Amino acid sequence: MASPNDRKYAATHEWHKLDDKQVTIGLSRFAVDKLTDITYLEVTRTDGAVAGGDALGEIESVKGASDIYTAVAGQIVAVNQAVLDDPAIINQDPYDKGWIIKIQVQDESQLDSLMTSEQYDQSHDR
């Protein structure tokens, strides 16, 4: 399944979708499939400023745990309480209902360092 092309992807498998100076961040379908059943989500940064590369929290599954990162700097403006309450939403719908956090960005060009959907899909299809 091809990754949606309306967002950019980090090598650490987070997608970043820009919409009117806000970047929504979630996990790619590839990451979700590798983790298998996601059982726990913790967001440790729920407000304030973040820098590109900062860890935002951790996601756990039956296979292990992984940190969640942001590739952009800005102010956290929203956390998806629904996925905190029920992380299985990410398993079912990682690109829509399964978003994790939203950040108000100052410099949209930070997204230029991320992969397009085509580049991301090719990076793990080898």
The answer to whether residue 118 is domain-embedded is no
Distance CA 101, CA 22 (A): 10
Please provide residue 77's backbone torsions phi and psi, each rounded to the nearest 5 degrees: -115, -15
Please provide residue 95's backbone torsions phi and psi, each rounded to the nearest 5 degrees: -100, -10
Distance CA 122, CA 115 (A): 10
The answer to whether residue 126 is domain-embedded is no
Q: Compute how many other C-beta atoms are within 10 angstroms of the C-beta atom of residue 89.
A: 19
The answer to whether residue 90 is domain-embedded is yes
The answer to whether residue 1 is domain-embedded is no
Q: Residue 2: what pLDDT?
A: 84
Q: Residue 124: what pLDDT?
A: 84
The answer to whether residue 114 is domain-embedded is no
Q: Residue 103: what pLDDT?
A: 98
Domain count across the chain: 1
| CATH, residue 56 | 2.40.50.100
The domain in which residue 51 lies consists of 8-107
pTM for this prediction: 0.95
- Give mean pLDDT in consecutive 10-residue pieces for the chain, a chain of 126 residues: 92 96 96 92 94 95 92 97 96 96 95 96 80
The answer to whether residue 120 is domain-embedded is no
